[in-house]
Homo-oligomer: A and B are copies of this chain.
């Protein structure tokens, strides 16, 4: 990812650039992890029921994809959109991490995906805390 390089070359970069870069990187990494985890779960011949894990992975991948895109944009931002999208991302990553944690001992992909989701949720919270009105998530 060249996110730091790209975002710093904008004519009016965010005054929270480091936190935005960390969040964008975490969001795309989490989209990738969740897409892989859903796919790996689908291929498991497991005694455990991975249905809820797959569904939550698919949701979390979609939410993280949108978070990565929306936060990549720095032109004329709308705080209400940014804040609501970060809160949606916290909700998806928290739920997906909790779900993957249930299977982390049995399936290594669930353990790595749990870690990705925790990192992304933390990056969202760090950015929400740094925004003008503070975090409400």
Interface positions of A (Cβ within 8 A of B): 1-3, 5-7, 9-12, 24, 28-29, 31-33, 35-40, 42-45, 51-52, 54-56, 58-63, 65-66, 68-70, 72-78, 80-81, 83-85, 87-88, 90-92, 94-95, 107-109, 112-113, 115-116
Contact = CB atoms under 8 A, between A and B. Distances in A.
Contacts of A88: 81, 84-85, 87-88
13 contacts: A3-B32, A10-B39, A12-B43, A31-B69, A36-B73, A38-B58, A39-B72, A55-B77, A58-B58, A58-B69, A80-B91, A81-B92, A81-B95
A109 B56 CA distance: 21
A66 B116 CA distance: 20
How often does this chain occur in the complex, in copies?
A: 4
